[in-house]
Structure 1
Amino acid sequence: MPPEPPEPEAAPRARGGRPRDPGRDAAIVAAALEVLAETGYERMTMDQVAARAGAGKATLYRRWPSKADLVVHAVGQIGDTPVLADLPDTGTLRGDLVALMRPQTAEDDERLLALTGGLASLLSAEPALADAAGAALVEPFVASQRLLMERARDRGEVPADADIETVALVTPSMTAFRLIVQRQPVDVPHLVRLIDTVVLPALGLAASARPA
Structure 2
Amino acid sequence: MTQLDLDESKPRLGRKRDHTRDPEILEAALDVLAETGYDGMTIDMVAARAKAGKATLYRRWSSKPELVLDAVACMKSKDLDLTGPPDTGTLRGDLVAMVKSPTIRESERKLKVMAGIVSMIARDPELAAAAQEALVEPRAAANRIIFRRAIARGEISADCDIETLCMIGPAMVAYRVLMLRTPVDRDFMIGTIDRIILPAAGLRPAEPSA
Superposition TM-score tier, normalisation by shorter sequence = 0.5 to 0.7
Matched, 1:116 2:114: no
Say which of 158, 178, 193 aligns to 2:156: 158
Mapped to 1, the partners of 2:191 and 2:132 lie a distance apart of 22
Instruction: Among all aligned residue pairs of Structure 1 and Structure 2, give the percentage whose two residues are the same amino acid.
Output: 46
CA, structure 1 residues 99+75, in 2 after alignment: closer, same or farther (shift >3 Å)? Answer: farther
Q: Residue 51 of structure 1 aligns with which residue?
A: 48
CA, structure 1 residues 98+60, in 2 after alignment: closer, same or farther (shift >3 Å)? Answer: farther
1:143 CA drift (Å): 1.0
Larger radius of gyration: 2
Q: Residue 4 of structure 2 aligns with which residue?
A: none
CA, structure 1 residues 115+150, in 2 after alignment: closer, same or farther (shift >3 Å)? Answer: closer
CA, structure 1 residues 31+146, in 2 after alignment: closer, same or farther (shift >3 Å)? Answer: same
Mapped to 2, the partners of 1:172 and 1:205 lie a distance apart of 20
Q: Which runs of 5+ in 1 are unaligned?
A: 1-15
1:191 CA drift (Å): 4.2
Mapped to 2, the partners of 1:112 and 1:130 lie a distance apart of 18
RMSD value over aligned CA atoms?
3.5
- Equivalent residues of 2:173, 2:184 under 8 A apart: no
1:146 CA drift (Å): 0.4
CA, structure 1 residues 159+91, in 2 after alignment: closer, same or farther (shift >3 Å)? Answer: same
Matched residue of 1:85: which SS?
Answer: coil
1:169 CA drift (Å): 3.3
Q: Residue 23 of structure 2 aligns with which residue?
A: 26
Of 67-76 and 186-195, the range deviating more from structure 2: 186-195
Return the TM-score normalized by structure 2: 0.68
Mapped to 2, the partners of 1:86 and 1:153 lie a distance apart of 18
Q: Residue 33 of structure 2 aligns with which residue?
A: 36
| 1:51-90 map, 5 Å | 51-80=48-77, 82=80, 85-90=83-88
- Equivalent residues of 2:26, 2:71 under 8 A apart: yes
Q: Residue 211 of structure 1 aligns with which residue?
A: 207
Q: Which runs of 5+ in 2 are unaligned?
A: 1-13
Return the TM-score normalized by structure 1: 0.67
- Equivalent residues of 1:37, 1:118 under 8 A apart: yes
| 1:109-188 map, 5 Å | 109=105, 112-113=107-108, 116-124=111-119, 127-128=122-123, 129-173=127-171, 182=179, 184=181, 187-188=184-185
Count of matched residue positions in the alignment of Structure 1 and Structure 2: 190
Amino acid at match of 2:55: A
Amino acid at match of 2:43: M
1:145 CA drift (Å): 0.7
Mapped to 2, the partners of 1:19 and 1:32 lie a distance apart of 19
1:66 CA drift (Å): 2.9
- Equivalent residues of 1:78, 1:137 under 8 A apart: yes
Q: Residue 4 of structure 1 aligns with which residue?
A: none
Mapped to 1, the partners of 2:94 and 2:71 lie a distance apart of 26
Amino acid at match of 1:152: A
CA, structure 1 residues 67+154, in 2 after alignment: closer, same or farther (shift >3 Å)? Answer: same
Post-superposition CA distance 1:149-206 (Å, at most 9, x none) = 11222233333332323322333455566677x4856624554444333322221112
- Equivalent residues of 2:111, 2:174 under 8 A apart: no
1:96 CA drift (Å): 2.4
